[in-house]
Amino acid sequence: MKRLTMDEAVTLLRSGEIVALPTETVYGLAGRIDSEQSVRKIFAAKGRPAENPLICHISSVEMLERYAVVAEDDRALLSLWPGPFTILLPKRDIPDIVTAGSHLCAFRMPAHTLFLEAIQKTGVPLAAPSANRSGETSPVTAEMVEASLEGRIQGVVDGGPCSVGIESTVVLREGERSVRILRPGAITEAQFEALGYTVVRNGAPEIEGRGLLSPGRLPVHYAPSVPLILVDRRYSPALLDLLRRFLNGEASLFQITEQRIDIERIDRSHPEVLRPDHAPDEKPEHHQGQGRSPDLSRKEDLTAFAAKLYRLLDEMSRTASVILTFSVAEEGIGRAINDRLRRAASLRLIPSDTEFAP
């Protein structure tokens, strides 16, 4: 896939073509929002259902105000920009195809100089979903974009690996000072609370009878190309190794506590365990402290894990036949990590006394 310069990318965008661009979260597949044709090209290249609306990326609050109705109660939230935060607002002058017919449009100001430059130079907001075929894991490097969309788009601006690594937090403001989180991300509940908002979790209210508000919240999303088994973190760490050995034919099923595992359809030939310290190409900072293994209840470790999660899943699916992993602490960015792992999982092991799946 062609590596585009910024000038080439902007020329293509201006003429209604679509290109992949880096953001701080994941790579986006961008097209100008004022051209139905380019937006249609985005849906076609991804194989994305027309019911799943796109995020509009803006480079300034002035640009936002040209395309959205911003209420006083929304203002404090905009201080989270630029960043991994997306807000639904009533739209103005945005084609229905962008929002799947909804009067609400999702807006985000990304914190990536290349993406911001592309918006400014194109002169209009850019609609951009993640730059992958629908249903696949989002790309966090230009190589991952290439593997997913080769032959379907003209090129990618290579900005190296994304720093955040998982998609933005999507919210809808409700009432005066309340936000409903439709998709957890790197902007955490604590950050909304610090701005004086109360947080309503995991909502998917019906709006105008149009079905699920945030279709990206449906299960089976962000899935790697091999089955992933997600084990609740409350189980002993030894369970993962036992499972791996079982899948490898080195241990038998009765050893695996009382869990009954339906693995009939899983190719057991090459299981691998996903660990936060797994990445072979990790830079030294993560190995400081003489072999300290990351503690997935620590905020910094969770942030670092999020940044490499999709890359690890992508790398592992090339060699592993099945991936085994633990859930992480359900707080801060850990909520977003668990959300993505749950959607990626074909099998989840949770303690039988759990009332609600964490």
Residue 25: contacted member of Mg ion, ligand TXA, none (CB under 5 to 8 Å, by partner type): ligand TXA
Residue 214: contacted member of ligand TXA, Mg ion, none (CB under 5 to 8 Å, by partner type): ligand TXA
Q: Which residue is nearest to ligand TXA (CB)?
A: 216
CB of 87 to ligand TXA, least distance (A): 10
Residue with Cβ nearer ligand TXA (148 or 235): 148
For residue 2, give every residue at least 6 positions away whose Cβ sits within 8 Å of its Cβ, in sequence order, or none: 154, 155, 156
Residue 106: contacted member of ligand TXA, Mg ion, none (CB under 5 to 8 Å, by partner type): ligand TXA
Q: Are strands 55-57 and 104-108 parallel, antiparallel or unpaired?
A: parallel
CB of 192 to Mg ion, least distance (A): 22
CA 358/CA 232 separation, integer angstroms: 8
> Hey, which residues between 314 and 343 contact ligand TXA (CB under 6 A)?
none
Contact between residue 157 and residue 312 where contact means Cβ atoms under 8 Å apart: no
Residue 82 in contact with ligand TXA, rule: CB under 6 A? no
Distance of CA 69 to the CA centre of its chain: 26
CB of 67 to ligand TXA, least distance (A): 12
> In this chain, which stretch among 192-200, 210-218, 242-250, 295-303 interacts with ligand TXA, using CB under 6 A?
210-218
CA 130/CA 316 separation, integer angstroms: 20
Residue with Cβ nearer Mg ion (99 or 130): 130
Residues forming contacts to Mg ion in the complex (CB under 5 A) are 130
Among 213, 228, 324, 341, binds ligand TXA (CB under 6 A): 213
Contact between residue 41 and residue 175 where contact means Cβ atoms under 8 Å apart: no
Q: Which two tokens stand for residue 201?
A: 């979790």
> Hey, which residues between 19 and 58 contact ligand TXA (CB under 6 A)?
23, 25-26, 28, 52-55
How many residues bind to ligand TXA according to rule CB under 6 A? 29
Residue with Cβ nearer ligand TXA (126 or 322): 126
Residue 68: contacted member of Mg ion, ligand TXA, none (CB under 5 to 8 Å, by partner type): none
Contact between residue 138 and residue 222 where contact means Cβ atoms under 8 Å apart: yes
For residue 347, give every residue at least 6 positions away whose Cβ sits within 8 Å of its Cβ, in sequence order, or none: 227, 228, 229, 230, 261, 262, 263, 266
**3-state SS assignment for residue 66:** helix
Q: Binding pattern to ligand TXA, positions 160-199, x when CB under 6 A?
A: -------xx-x------------x----------------
> Hey, which residues between 90 and 149 contact ligand TXA (CB under 6 A)?
99, 102, 104-106, 108, 110, 128-130
Cα atoms in the 13 Å half-sphere on the side-chain side of 174: 14
C-alpha pair distances (Å), 118 with each of 19, 33, 40: 10, 13, 20
Please choose, from the candidates 230, 213, 339, the residue with its C-alpha nearest in 3D space to the C-alpha of residue 274.
Answer: 230
CA 231/CA 347 separation, integer angstroms: 8
Give residues in contact with ligand TXA (CB under 6 A).
Answer: 23, 25-26, 28, 52-55, 84, 86, 88, 99, 102, 104-106, 108, 110, 128-130, 167-168, 170, 183, 213-216
